[in-house]
Amino acid sequence: MKKERGAGSGERGTKGIECGPQVERAGTGRLADLKAMLDARGLSPRKSLGQNFLLDTNFAAAVAREAGADARTLLLEVGPGTGFLTRALLDAHPTARVLAIELDRGLVELLRDRFSGEIASNRLTLLEGDALDGKHGLDADWLAEADRIAQSEGRSRRVLCANLAYNMATPLIANLLLGAQASCPPESFANGGASRTAGPQPAQRMVQRIVATVQLELAERLVGKPSTNDYGPLSIFASLCASARIVRKVGAEVFWPRPHVHSAVLRIDLPPWFETPFTPEEAASFLEFLHRVFGQRRKTLRAVLKGALPSDHPLAGARAEDVSPTELLGFFRSPLVLKCSATRQPARSVIPRSARRRSG
């Protein structure tokens, strides 16, 4: 992997969404400057990478502030594009370090020139490549570089702040929700109540916060409530092991080319695993269970589990979409579900089936 890398800032689907009163409109855009910057290098938005470039500096500054970074923070940006959000992150958080990863080689060259001073002074590290390893994992070199910076500079807090292409937003967020750091500096546990002595430490999250501009549809799925169409494995999992909310809705005007849908700024705060109801290992199994019971969301739990539940069980006649996250977790841990685990079909991905259909 080359140190100059991301996955373009992204187009978010094809379905139109009416703009309500909460949708933020663009301020003074810089479309002419953006086009001139790209034209000078013979570059243009690549549909294959879902590139819709951020062009509103006021909006970029607002997103950067939401990251809440300080001197112990490593900011991770995926798909910096032409660098509007990168610039905002560097300006808003002068003591933080930014690790950006970009897939488009032409944009990597542009970013290298635009931020040559910040790269030379180690305020910014730029990698060329893809943050995802397929759709089922994260790139090992990207994670290794994040580990190296975090440990060498004592940056115990990691925040993903990015304008994400929709074709990679779902798998990236799902993998970050599910994953744990392989290694972590002891000082990162200073505020978590864990021991700072040598030896094994409790698993930490890969990031402690996610601030991402994504398609509005995805944001609404991540905060979906029971008995709604947005409620599913991703929203259930996020509600139990994180705190997710939509910060603001965003009109198409802040991007070029304009996407055909509206977007939203999504913020997810992730506590250490020991503050969640399960371990990383149990989390993976629980997510497989959720995929199973939501794979046929209109069927009752008794029907999905092939009659493993007695007819008089409180949840026998319920559909998964109508059961709360805590009830589903308790049900997952019950002897009745464990009894039928031998017939459980393992999920092939942490990504919801509907998201796989919509993704690139």
pLDDT of the residue at 341: 55
Q: Where in the chain is the domain with CATH 3.40.50.150?
A: 23-275
**Contact between 12 and 212 (Cβ < 8 Å):** no
**Contact between 81 and 100 (Cβ < 8 Å):** no
**Contact between 67 and 267 (Cβ < 8 Å):** no
What mean pLDDT is reported for the chain? 83
Nearest to 238 by CA among 225, 222, 227: 222
pLDDT of the residue at 349: 45
Say yes or no to pLDDT of 6 above 50.
no
DSSP conformational letter for 222: H
pTM beyond 0.85: no
**Contact between 202 and 271 (Cβ < 8 Å):** no
**Contact between 103 and 49 (Cβ < 8 Å):** yes
Highest mean pLDDT: which of 5-14, 187-196, 242-251, 330-339?
Answer: 242-251
The CATH H-level (homologous superfamily) assignment of domain 23-275 is Vaccinia Virus protein VP39 (3.40.50.150)
In terms of pLDDT, which residue wins out, 179 or 54? 54
What is the rounded distance in angstroms from the CA atom of residue 337 to the CA atom of residue 334? 6
| Segment 41-67 mean pLDDT | 92
- Per residue in 210-249, pLDDT tens? 999 999 999 999 999 999 999 999 999 999 999 999 999 9
pLDDT of the residue at 202: 54
